Amino acid sequence: MTENKSDAMCSTVCAPNEYFTKKLSTGKYLVTTRHRQYAFLDAKEYDLLYREQFQENKELFEKLEKTGIIFTEKNIKKIVGSFEKQYIFLFFPKSFRINLSNECNLMCSYCLSNATPTQHETMSDELVDATIKFMLSAPGKKFYMEFQGGEPLVKFNEIKKFVAKIKLAAEVGKKEIEKIVIVTNMTLMTEEIAEYLLENNIGLCSSLDGPEELHDIHRKFGGGGGTYKTVTKWLSYFRERGKTINTLPTITAHSIKFGARKIIDEYLKQGCIRIPIRAVIPVGRAKQNDNHTYSAEEFIAFWKDAVEYLVEITLNGNPVFDPNTQAMLRNIMDGPVSYMCMRKPCGGAISHMSISCDGTIMPCDLSKTLPEMAIGNVRESHIDVALRTINMNARTSDFQPLCNTCAFGPYCGNCYTRTRAVFSDETPRTPRDFECKVNKAMFTYLFEKMQDAKYVKVFRIWINGR
């Protein structure tokens, strides 16, 4: 620590914190810290920081003290508070993805589960009981659960039985189910099912890839034929009943050719305010489909066009946003790390787990087709045992030395599952990795735009969106 002799610009003592730098196209230097604070410095200011002569400039000193780029007696508690907020997700309620079956009535071209109409294996009653026991072994008083698949509504009766059992078990065990959600393609929905979901306050998540012409390229019935008309019929039904459904597009090469603005327009037509812009993940069927791939540069251009359009729409009085961009902005603006795939350590297993119909415990839903990533089975595993497996420890280790010194490292995270799927081992090839290129470009764009008052206004609206 360096004693400050000058006019108490440092309260008593001060010293530079560890910081990371990137020069932006605006000419400013972005300086970030591990506790997710940042400052934009001009060349002269950065030179003073680099040479540790920041006391010579009172305005610079105050900027560095406020952001924690230097330590002083005044800001230590604030820095500790930022770290607490950054890692609060470690104490969030556990989230469980339940796969009662891999059977599905569709043959979507990018299905991460490789689900088909001919996969009839169903979770047995014995495994249902073991799964519920495993879920209730999670620490904390609350948990979240989501039915996935396959198509969960293929096993709607089993869902009802599971929900009845888990509600009773949670009551006996003095646990609270924070939310139950079903991820469904909507094509097996009926009014009977819809009424059950509404009566039991069960959430829904579905897929809509854009206008009919695009959606039906990707999402077809097992016997052929597109699903757009059926999906939008039920989106309209629930919207009229006042129920919000989170819909997700998957961006393939077809989507990029189609254009971001047409996809966003379709979402607006369906009454959606959340429009996720998410790249196709090379897992499951998508890994076998070369027609879906594109370069990082192509996706970045698509995403930027989407964000510019969303900014334009928001400024015109209709606040719509991409929740993935929202999560990045919350990371930047010192909010909770809401996006599991950008958490450090990775959210897999720590924040959520996926349980297959044979009882296998996977660290996340993306890993379902990668059996080597299994961390146990509900028949014999307690949650504490699953969290101590070699696969779990490997998944949460920091294998990315380049991330450790990247200016965006405090805000970013590497998807271990994607690394396994693409490279067949745990070590990311960070300089040429698709995810790294995309995340760097996104964070660069967002930080550059945060020097523009128009974008800051919109970004603040977005981070408060739901």
* Rounded average pLDDT over 88-111: 91
Give me the pLDDT at residue 11, please: 47
Tokens 């129920």, residue?
Answer: 243
- CA 407 to CA 24: how far, in whole Å? 11
Encode pLDDT of 39-94 as tens digits.
999 999 999 999 999 999 999 999 999 999 999 999 999 999 999 888 888 888 89
Give me the pLDDT at residue 391, please: 65
Give me the pLDDT at residue 428, please: 67
Give me the pLDDT at residue 389, please: 75
Q: Binning pLDDT at 50, 70 and 90, where does residue 1 land?
A: very low
Integer angstrom CA distances of residue 181 from 97, 338, 340, 424: 9, 17, 17, 32
- 356: nearest Cα among 169, 114, 21, 31: 114
- CA 310 to CA 321: how far, in whole Å? 6
Q: Is the pLDDT of residue 325 over 90?
A: yes
In terms of average pLDDT, the best of 119-123, 142-146, 421-425 is: 142-146
- CA 412 to CA 428: how far, in whole Å? 14
Q: Among residues of the chain, what percentage have pLDDT more than 70?
A: 94
201 class by beta-carbon count within 10 Å (0-12 exposed, 13-18 middle, 19+ buried): exposed
DSSP secondary structure of 406-417: -TTGGG----HH
Tokens 């014999």, residue?
Answer: 380
Q: Are 355 and 96 in contact (CB under 8 A)?
A: yes
168 class by beta-carbon count within 10 Å (0-12 exposed, 13-18 middle, 19+ buried): exposed
Q: Binning pLDDT at 50, 70 and 90, where does residue 5 land?
A: very low
What token pair was written down for 428?
Answer: 């990311």
| Non-local CB neighbours of 240 within 8 Å, separated by 6+ positions | none
Give me the pLDDT at residue 372, please: 86
Mean pLDDT of the chain: 90
Give me the pLDDT at residue 392, please: 67
Q: Binning pLDDT at 50, 70 and 90, where does residue 186 land?
A: very high
Half-sphere exposure of 125 (CA within 13 A, CB side): 3
Distance between first and last Cα of the chain: 44
455 or 115, which is more confident: 455
Q: Is the pLDDT of residue 9 over 60?
A: no
Q: Binning pLDDT at 50, 70 and 90, where does residue 23 land?
A: very high
Stretch(es) of the chain classified as CATH 3.20.20.70 = 93-361
Q: Is the pLDDT of residue 6 over 80?
A: no
Integer angstrom CA distances of residue 315 from 196, 309, 362, 374: 39, 10, 42, 46
* Rounded average pLDDT over 220-227: 94
* Rounded average pLDDT over 384-400: 68
- 417: nearest Cα among 456, 391, 384, 445: 391
Q: Binning pLDDT at 50, 70 and 90, where does residue 395 land?
A: low
Q: Among residues of the chain, what percentage have pLDDT more than 90?
A: 70
Q: Is the pLDDT of residue 161 over 90?
A: yes
Q: Are 263 and 256 in contact (CB under 8 A)?
A: no
377 or 373, which is more confident: 377
Q: Is the pLDDT of residue 196 over 80?
A: yes
Encode pLDDT of 398-446 as tens digits.
556 778 889 999 998 877 777 777 777 767 677 778 888 999 999 999 9
Half-sphere exposure of 391 (CA within 13 A, CB side): 18
> CATH for 93-361?
3.20.20.70
Give me the pLDDT at residue 384, please: 81
Q: Is the pLDDT of residue 311 over 50?
A: yes
- CA 255 to CA 261: how far, in whole Å? 10
Q: What is the DSSP letter of 220?
A: B
- 393: nearest Cα among 423, 365, 371, 363: 363
HEC-encoded secondary structure of 266-308: HHHHCCCCECCCEECCCCHHHHHCHHHCCCHHHHHHHHHHHHH
* Rounded average pLDDT over 361-381: 88
Give me the pLDDT at residue 44, please: 97
Give me the pLDDT at residue 4, please: 42
Q: Is the pLDDT of residue 278 over 90?
A: yes
What token pair was written down for 445?
Answer: 């764009």
- 247: nearest Cα among 282, 280, 277, 227: 277
* Rounded average pLDDT over 189-204: 98
